[in-house]
């Protein structure tokens, strides 16, 4: 591999997406062997040899540098090369403000429909943690997400659309006066007395943590919100 900071391969596509990350403000395409231009051209030829198409991206942390490098992509690599910008920041909150597409991607993975900034940041952090803990030589997206879902709190949505509450648990919750709830992307989101108190359990209903929550409810049989609240914290 010549362009290998990140490579994305979809099982149902013949396209390989390669990303090369650079923070330096003085980089250029270069000329000759071991230049960025040379690496991009060699990566294209290598992909072509294995019957794959190429989408090669140079990622820089300066918008002006992106524009400059995009305006002078060498002719021999123009058809499959692009320079894109991604900021170098110290917090996810700052990244979210600069990259709406990144924020929307994290929001899609979040169990909440309208998540607060702290919930979005939690999702991003557990995903990064799961990524660093994965075998990055060949990690599947779902493997990383599944690993992240095992952390708590995570607030990462479930992709199992058939999830349902245990009937006994439903009966307990339905009989708590003033208490309402819904299953949002696999998570139990609740409200008491029309917003006087509200929250979401920090684990999905198909997790081991929820199984423990469920067994506690069945054992204690709470009949009012005061009895229930201790299990929601």
Q: What is the pLDDT of residue 196?
A: 87
* Pure H helices in 2-116: 36-49, 63-70, 92-98, 100-109
Enter the DSSP assignment of 55.
E
**Which residue(s) pair with 110 in the sheet?**
156
CB 158 within 8 A of CB 185: yes
Nearest Cα to Cα of residue 66 among 100, 105, 22, 103: 22
Domain extents in the chain: 6-85, 92-149, 167-232
Q: Which residue has the tokens 């395409």?
A: 29
Residue 205: name the closest of 160, 145, 171 by CA.
160
Flag residues of the chain having pLDDT under 70. Answer: none
pLDDT at position 49: 97
Rounded Cα–Cα distance for residues 183 and 95 (Å): 29
| pLDDT tens digits for range 10-24 | 988 999 999 999 999
Total Cβ atoms within 10 A of residue 144: 19
Distance separating alpha carbons of residues 119 and 101, to the nearest angstrom: 17
Which CA distances in Å does 172 have to 113, 217, 222? 25, 8, 7
Residue where the block lists tokens 């607030």: 155
Q: How far apart are CA 138 and CA 144, in angstroms?
A: 11
Predicted model pTM = 0.84
pLDDT tens-digit series, residues 153-165 = 788 998 887 888 9
CA distance 225 to 219: 16
Computed from CA positions of residues 171, 172, 173, 177, in that sequence, does the dihedral angle turn out positive or negative?
Answer: positive
Instruction: State the average pLDDT for the chain.
Output: 94
Position 121 scores a pLDDT of 96
């Amino acid at each position: 591999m010549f362009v290998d900071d990140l490579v994305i391969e979809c099982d149902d596509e013949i396209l390989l997406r390669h990303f090369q990350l650079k923070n330096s403000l003085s980089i250029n395409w270069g000329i000759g062997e071991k230049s960025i231009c040379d690496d991009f051209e060699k990566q294209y030829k290598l992909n072509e040899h294995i019957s794959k198409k190429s989408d090669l991206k140079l990622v820089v942390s300066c918008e002006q540098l992106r524009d400059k490098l995009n305006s002078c992509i060498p002719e021999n690599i123009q058809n499959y090369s692009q320079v894109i910008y991604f900021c170098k920041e110290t917090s996810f909150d700052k990244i979210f403000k600069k990259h709406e597409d990144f924020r929307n991607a994290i929001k899609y993975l979040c169990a909440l429909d309208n998540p607060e900034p702290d919930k979005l940041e939690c999702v991003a952090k557990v995903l990064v943690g799961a990524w660093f803990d994965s075998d990055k030589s060949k990690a599947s997206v779902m493997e990383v997400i599944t690993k992240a879902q095992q952390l708590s709190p995570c607030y990462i949505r479930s992709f199992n659309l058939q999830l349902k509450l245990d009937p006994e648990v439903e009966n307990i919750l339905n009989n708590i006066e003033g208490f309402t709830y819904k299953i949002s992307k696999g998570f139990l989101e609740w409200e008491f007395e029309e917003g006087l108190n509200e929250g979401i359990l920090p684990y999905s209903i198909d997790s081991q943590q929820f199984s423990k929550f469920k067994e506690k409810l069945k054992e204690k049989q709470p009949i009012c919100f005061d009895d229930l609240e201790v299990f929601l914290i």
